[in-house]
Chain A
Amino acid sequence: MQAALNDRPLARHHCDLKARFMTPLERKLPLDVRRRWRRGFMRHVPGNGLVILIVCIVIAAALFSIVRAVQSVSRSANAVSTSHRVINVGENLLSLMQDVETGQRGYLLTADAAFLAPYRAAIAKVAAERRALGALVSYPQQRERLAEIEVRIAEKLAITRRTIELARTGEIEAARAIVASGAGRLSMDRVRHAFAAFLDSESRLLERRRAEMVAAERRATVQALFAIFLTLGAGSLAIVTTRRTAAELAQRINEAARARRRFRATFDQAAVGIAHLAPDGVVLRANSQLCEISGYPRDRLVGSWFESLAHPDDVPAELACRRALLSGARERYHSEYRGIRADGSMLWMSVTASLVRDDEGRPDFFVSVVKDITGRKQTEAKLLSGEAQYRAIYDSAVEAIAVIDARGNIQSVNPAVQHVFGYTAEEMIGRNVAMLMPAPTAHAHDGYLDHYRRTGERAIIGIGREVEGQRKDGSIFPLDLSVAEWRSDGETFFTGIMRDITARKTAERALAEAEARYRLTQEAVRAGNWETDLASFQTTLSRESMRLFGFSGEQDGRFERGELSAIADRADGARARAQFERAVADGRRFESIMRIPLADGSSRWIQMIGQTQYDAAGKPVRMTGLNIDITDRQHAEQALRESEERLRSLQNEFAHLSRVNELGELAAAIAHEINQPLTAITNYMNVGHFALSMIGKGGDAAGPALVEALEVTDLAAEQAVRAGEIVRRLRAFVAKGTGSRRAERIDEIVDTAMALSLVDAQLAGIIVDRHRGAAGAMVEVEAIQVQQVLVNLLRNAIDALVQVPDSDVRQLTITTRLVEAGTFVEVMVRDTGPGILPEVMARLFEPFVTSKAGGMGMGLSLSRRLIEAHGGAIEVGSATGQGATFRFTLPLLTESLSDD
């Protein structure tokens, strides 16, 4: 245990880590108070935060309103200043206009050019002032009035300019006449009026703006004052709140310290061991009693894992208990387990633990109360050991064990009794054991007990017997019963041990029934046994076997070697003998079928089967087996064969008809094919005839003419052979099938069918691709039938392809390859035609289903029957507009590939 504690540096490290992150104040405080302190502060943070947030918002709002007020005052001040400038510039402009007027008058009256200088200076300034005024005025009504002023000034300047011009050109009188007319004065009056109206209005505007400015200033002052008060108020609130928090905190720390002192007193002086554990199991505190129990000093306990006190085997249990507390699954736990003291001795501890949670419900620390129960445990163990052994046997026994007293009343029963009889222990204890027996025995049982008490004669005790028991549900079952007698405190008791032997009885009965059934079966299926001794080769036949071999009588029969096979048909007998000897030699199953000629002239077919039996040394000693009458089966098989024969012949006939029909459809293409060599032959013959006919007519010399005649005869013969080849293929195709299958090369069959079907493919612009993926593959078929299927598929493909527009690809692909791990040959015919309509697709292989105008709809249904008769399968795949793909398979002849 010393070592165990030293091996736990982690615990101390854990504490060091925590301490490193503490403030100096925190370090001075005891651990639990420190925790409370931190939690207390944390709890006030949300409240403080809210106050601070509100204070901030209030101050921000106050500042914002002050800024707004200042902006408003500033705007008003600007407007006032603008009005002042407008009035200044306006008055200035009016005074300039008066200067112009004065200059003009002076000049006209005196004709002194000195007056023109101030006139010109004024004119120049008027333009500048007009622009300045225009830029300043923005108020809409004032702009209208300014426009009026502009018009009047322009009028005035025009009149002035004209008079001065007239005066300068010497028409002083004309100029004066204009002045005398009063037009100039009238115009000047209009200018003055316009200015008066403008300036008057601007003055009123100025008054209004001044008033607005004053109001804005007043508002700003009020807002500023309000904001200052608000800020002060909010600030005070914040200060008060924070102060209260601090006060509360101080109070809590004091309370905690008091509670700690109180707790310390009870903790240290308790009569039991107490430990406080951190949620991770590190001992935070341990009282002196725990130190005494465990034998460790306090400073060794604090900081170590609590579970290090436990026996290694019991550590998981302790950890599981604490986890249950942490998860909240349990409030407290009590557990008794082994611990190890500091001196290494074993200790039994009773540990009661509960979890203290903080105010938020988070785990704070465990309180574990530890009691030393080593003494109690040792006493218990001694008491238990004897009883326990007996109990263990009693409770776990498969046998039902019941104890009865001398009067037959049940004292105790083990669980198996309840299981076997169906009663609960409560229903049985105290009642007479007769309740577990069927009626006759039950009534007599008291008598048996009485008899034994009086005479001491033992019927069952120490002997055992098969008896019957009765279950609660009334069912009766066989029991193996043994009884022992014993005494306690002067009273006699009997212990009965009972075993339910229903299963054994059932098996015995089943065996007997099976034997009986076997005998019956032999008779029913007309089968009989036989056995041959392999030393003497004597064969014994059972009664039924004798009957099968045509013997009458009720006796088994014994036959010497060869006698039995002589009864059978000669050939069958000889074959059976050979098979028997081979089976004995190879240790294999013997099986043979033989015909037995019967006295009435009929025959009986017998199947003999047998198996060699060996002795302990592995030497064959005899062969045993059955004779089975298979006459009926033989007859049935023969009938089936005949029926299949008929079916095949019908199918052959039909296939032939279909081929003839196919030929009709091919006729046009074939006619074209044959006409070509015929044309060539006629041409050549004509050339030959002409050449020969010229001999002697003086035209050609005989030599060259003969040479040419010979040449064209050869060429004609070649063409004739070509025509003959076509005819030969046709004849083969329409010939009646022989009905027999032969090993054929699949590629040869495909090539022949292609030659026959594709005569006009090239003419129709069809590109034919041939892929050979099963070179040399052989199939056992009737070639003509497979060719027929292919011709059908290829003609269908051509019919489909000629529907494709000339511009598109008309492609026909014929592929042979091996499939299904090389056990089948597949032939695929794929076209790029318009495909098959979905509604036709599903019923494609049914008879009379066709998409061709003149078709019978027999081709594909016949094709399927022909392929399936050969052990293959045919299928189609098509999507409308993407052509059709037909595939059929045929079983591969296994030895065929190795031939190549």
Chain B
Amino acid sequence: MTDLGGEWIAIVDDDEGVRSSTQRLLARACFRVDAYDGGERFLRAGASRRYDCILLDVWMPDLDGLSVLRALGAQPGPVAPVIVLTGHGDVALAVEAMKLGAEAFIEKPYRPELLLSEIRRAITEPSLRMC
């Protein structure tokens, strides 16, 4: 296990259960976590650059994950790696998210270890996403 700790993670999900459980899980894994209950609120906070990794739900009522990805892509400067989370195992959606610059794509429900390893990989090997 790579030695990591203290990185800032943002979790953007409209579902209260998912949001707080993930927050708890990541805190347990020694990350610092901010939770946002919607894409719009996340963008309005204007803090996307502060994070080392962003966990983004696709289906949200106000602004969906793909729109958030597009908005982040339009911002100047480097963007933190984004991991897209969704309940729908939709390949087309995954491809779309990757095209928009997502680092990884995880289907809910996921194994917590998979999520943590994806986060770690995204933080330590961000170049992979350029391939």
Chain A residues positioned under 8 Å from B21 (CB to CB): 679-681, 683-684, 687, 712, 715-716, 719
Which of B46-54, B69-77, B106-114, B121-129 forms contacts with chain A? B106-114
Query: Closest approach, in angstroms, between the C-beta of B86 and any C-beta of chain A?
Result: 8
Q: Which residues in chain A, 160-206, are within 8 Å of chain B measured between CB atoms? A: none
B32-53 Cβ-contact flags toward A at 8 Å (1 or 0)? 0000000000000000000000
Which of B1-9, B22-30, B97-105 forms contacts with chain A? B22-30
Interface SS of chain B = loop
Chain A residues positioned under 8 Å from B110 (CB to CB): 679, 682
A655-696 Cβ-contact flags toward B at 8 Å (1 or 0)? 000000000000010011001111111111011001100000
Chain B residues positioned under 8 Å from A680 (CB to CB): 15, 17-18, 20-21
Query: Closest approach, in angstroms, between the C-beta of B98 and any C-beta of chain A?
Result: 21
A765 within 8 A of B: yes
A722 within 8 A of B: yes
Contacting residue for A687 out of B17, B24, B60, B64, CB 8 A? B24
A762 within 8 A of B: yes
Name 11 extra pairs, CB < 8 A, besides A680-B17, A684-B21, A765-B62: A672-B59, A672-B87, A676-B87, A680-B15, A683-B112, A686-B112, A690-B28, A691-B28, A715-B17, A715-B21, A763-B59
In contact, B17 and A722 (Cβ under 8 angstroms): yes
Chain A residues positioned under 8 Å from B109 (CB to CB): 675, 678-679, 681-682
B61 within 8 A of A: yes
Query: Closest approach, in angstroms, between the C-beta of B17 and any C-beta of chain A?
Result: 4
In contact, A683 and B24 (Cβ under 8 angstroms): yes
In contact, A765 and B61 (Cβ under 8 angstroms): yes
Q: Provide a sorted-by-A list of 28 A–B residue pairs whose CB atoms are within 8 angstroms.
A: A671-B88, A676-B18, A676-B87, A679-B18, A679-B21, A679-B22, A679-B87, A679-B109, A680-B15, A680-B20, A681-B109, A682-B111, A683-B25, A684-B21, A686-B25, A686-B112, A686-B113, A687-B25, A687-B112, A712-B24, A715-B20, A715-B21, A716-B21, A718-B17, A719-B21, A722-B17, A764-B61, A765-B62
Contacting residue for A719 out of B17, B22, B28, B112, CB 8 A? B17
Nearest to B64 among chain A residues (CB) is A763
Nearest to B23 among chain A residues (CB) is A683
Interface SS of chain A = helix
Nearest to A723 among chain B residues (CB) is B17
Interface size on A, residues (CB 8 A): 28
Query: Closest approach, in angstroms, between the C-beta of B40 and any C-beta of chain A?
Result: 11
In the complex the two chains form, what is the Cα distance from A628 to B109 in whole Å? 74
In contact, B87 and A675 (Cβ under 8 angstroms): yes
Query: Closest approach, in angstroms, between the C-beta of B91 and any C-beta of chain A?
Result: 14
Query: Closest approach, in angstroms, between the C-beta of B60 and any C-beta of chain A?
Result: 7
Query: Closest approach, in angstroms, between the C-beta of B105 and any C-beta of chain A?
Result: 15
In contact, A679 and B108 (Cβ under 8 angstroms): yes
Chain B residues positioned under 8 Å from A718 (CB to CB): 17
Nearest to B25 among chain A residues (CB) is A683
* Given A676-B18, A687-B28, A682 and B87 contact (CB-CB distance below 8 Å): no
Chain B residues positioned under 8 Å from A722 (CB to CB): 17
In the complex the two chains form, what is the Cα distance from A678 to B25 in whole Å? 14
Number of A-B contacts (CB under 8 A): 75
In contact, A762 and B61 (Cβ under 8 angstroms): yes
In the complex the two chains form, what is the Cα distance from A760 to B87 in whole Å? 12
In the complex the two chains form, what is the Cα distance from A484 to B61 in whole Å? 111
In the complex the two chains form, what is the Cα distance from A671 to B109 in whole Å? 11
Q: Closest 7 CB pairs between A and B?
A: A683-B21, A680-B17, A686-B112, A675-B87, A678-B109, A672-B87, A679-B109
In the complex the two chains form, what is the Cα distance from A686 to B115 in whole Å? 11
Interface size on B, residues (CB 8 A): 22
In contact, A676 and B88 (Cβ under 8 angstroms): no
In the complex the two chains form, what is the Cα distance from A681 to B108 in whole Å? 11
Chain A residues positioned under 8 Å from B20 (CB to CB): 680, 715
In the complex the two chains form, what is the Cα distance from A59 to B42 in whole Å? 104
Give the B-binding residues of A (Cβ under 8 A): 668, 671-672, 675-684, 686-687, 690-691, 712, 715-716, 718-719, 722, 760, 762-765
Most B CB atoms within 10 A — which of A671, A686, A712?
Answer: A686
Query: Closest approach, in angstroms, between the C-beta of A433 and any C-beta of chain B?
Result: 108
Chain A residues positioned under 8 Å from B18 (CB to CB): 676, 679-680, 683
Chain B residues positioned under 8 Å from A712 (CB to CB): 21, 24
Chain A residues positioned under 8 Å from B24 (CB to CB): 683-684, 687, 712
Nearest to B115 among chain A residues (CB) is A683
Query: Closest approach, in angstroms, between the C-beta of B69 and any C-beta of chain A?
Result: 16
In the complex the two chains form, what is the Cα distance from A671 to B18 in whole Å? 15
Chain A residues positioned under 8 Å from B59 (CB to CB): 672, 760, 763
Chain A residues positioned under 8 Å from B113 (CB to CB): 686
In contact, B17 and A672 (Cβ under 8 angstroms): no
In the complex the two chains form, what is the Cα distance from A687 to B22 in whole Å? 9
Most B CB atoms within 10 A — which of A675, A679, A687, A764?
Answer: A679
Chain B residues positioned under 8 Å from A668 (CB to CB): 88
Chain B residues positioned under 8 Å from A677 (CB to CB): 17
In the complex the two chains form, what is the Cα distance from A715 to B111 in whole Å? 18
In contact, B61 and A683 (Cβ under 8 angstroms): no
Query: Closest approach, in angstroms, between the C-beta of A614 and any C-beta of chain B?
Result: 78
In contact, A763 and B108 (Cβ under 8 angstroms): no
In the complex the two chains form, what is the Cα distance from A208 to B21 in whole Å? 127
Most B CB atoms within 10 A — which of A671, A675, A681, A718?
Answer: A675
Most B CB atoms within 10 A — which of A668, A683, A687, A762?
Answer: A683
Query: Closest approach, in angstroms, between the C-beta of A672 and any C-beta of chain B?
Result: 4
Query: Closest approach, in angstroms, between the C-beta of A670 and any C-beta of chain B?
Result: 10
Chain B residues positioned under 8 Å from A672 (CB to CB): 59, 87-88
In contact, A678 and B112 (Cβ under 8 angstroms): no
In contact, A676 and B15 (Cβ under 8 angstroms): yes
In the complex the two chains form, what is the Cα distance from A216 to B58 in whole Å? 111
Contacting residue for B17 out of A676, A760, A763, A764, CB 8 A? A676
In the complex the two chains form, what is the Cα distance from A686 to B26 in whole Å? 11
Chain A residues positioned under 8 Å from B17 (CB to CB): 676-677, 679-680, 715, 718-719, 722
In the complex the two chains form, what is the Cα distance from A764 to B63 in whole Å? 10
Most A CB atoms within 10 A — which of B21, B28, B64, B108?
Answer: B21
In the complex the two chains form, what is the Cα distance from A691 to B61 in whole Å? 34
In the complex the two chains form, what is the Cα distance from A676 to B61 in whole Å? 15
In contact, A763 and B87 (Cβ under 8 angstroms): no
In the complex the two chains form, what is the Cα distance from A678 to B64 in whole Å? 21
Nearest to B116 among chain A residues (CB) is A686
In contact, A675 and B108 (Cβ under 8 angstroms): yes
Query: Closest approach, in angstroms, between the C-beta of A777 and any C-beta of chain B?
Result: 31
Nearest to B85 among chain A residues (CB) is A679
In the complex the two chains form, what is the Cα distance from A680 to B24 in whole Å? 10
In the complex the two chains form, what is the Cα distance from A682 to B112 in whole Å? 7
